[in-house]
Chains A and B, each alone.
Chain A
Amino acid sequence: MHIMEGFLPSPWWQVWFLVSLPFIVIGLYQVNKLVQEKREALPLLAVAGAFVFVLSSLKLPSFNGSCSHPTGTGLGAVLFGPCIAAVLGLIVLVFQAVFLAHGGITTLGANVFSMGIAGPAVAYLIYKVGIRAGANTYATVFCAAALADLATYVVTSVQLALAFPGTAGFLGAFSAFAAIFAVTQVPLAIVEGAVIALVFKYIVQLKPEILTRLNLLPESTIRKLQEAAA
């Protein structure tokens, strides 16, 4: 769930636009480079974007009696890095703000930062560290995607607490917003992580050459994963 239209006062909505802007610019540059140098990875980019579309349209019930939706940005972040994931997140957030009154144009900067940048950055770091440490590939993807989802809503709570510290101060406001956003998100994050790990398995089976081309997995690991699934 994104911050709704008009729910960030000045100067916070401008601040988050400024923070998000450089990531989007770098992301567009990287997409452009991908189009020119690694065209065979473009279908994978489309899949990553399509995943954000599907997952962020599903409002799911959580155990505490409210609903929220997963973000789906973990896949794009693991495959292409957080800046390209930011561009994918931007596309979906504009779609939802314009057609669905979900999120908003004035809060777009803040929402791009939480869903498109902070969450994906977490996913990207976890994936890189996990693979380098030789951890199980699918377990790493699961953690990356689940924690990206969770981090998105922790950051949303921080953004709201900064803008509305109220009488309780930043920490008090943060725990109130986190109780609404982040706690709701825990079960959804687990399901999202599992689904994205499964999709990663299909990518390993069907298009392993793209994963090597993007330097995501060494060939030896891919061979081992394929043998395990045969």
Chain B
Amino acid sequence: MKYGMEIAVAALILVFAAVFLLQDAAIRATGEEAWGGADGNAADLIEASGYEPWAKPFWEPPSGEIESLLFALQAAIGAVIIGYIFGYWQGSRKTA
């Protein structure tokens, strides 16, 4: 099968999304808040033992919007590079 692997990966991502939706529905039904970061959970666990972090980030994104802007920018930088190089390879193979 020429596209066997693509189909398998797409199916896996769909399963991943479906599990998320089911789990989310189950958690909402209990009324709990979820989907925070694992690092925040670990920080809570550490702080519960009385530890105070001895350093703070010297700059923090001032809001959730700015933070998601910077995360999107990070992904975009990577995606542009990947697309450019794969496109270049594909093009040079076709004209060779």
Q: A interface vs B, CB < 8 Å?
A: 1-7, 9, 43-44, 46-47, 49-63, 65-68, 92, 95-102, 104-106, 138, 160, 164, 166, 176-177, 180-181, 184-185, 187, 190-191, 194-195, 197-198, 201-202, 206-207, 229-230
Contacts and interface: CB of A to CB of B under 8 A. Distances in A.
Interface of A is mostly: helix
Nearest to B58: A105
Interface string B53-89: 1111111110000010011101101111110011011
Nearest to A191: B16
Contact of A53 (B5, B27, B78, B85): B78
B53 A61 contact: no
Interface of B: 2, 5-6, 8-9, 12-13, 16, 19-20, 23-24, 27, 32, 34-39, 41-43, 45-46, 49, 51, 53-61, 67, 70-72, 74-75, 77-82, 85-86, 88-90, 93
Contacts of A195: 9
A104 B58 CA distance: 9
A164 B31 CA distance: 32
Contact of A181 (B12, B38, B81, B90): B38
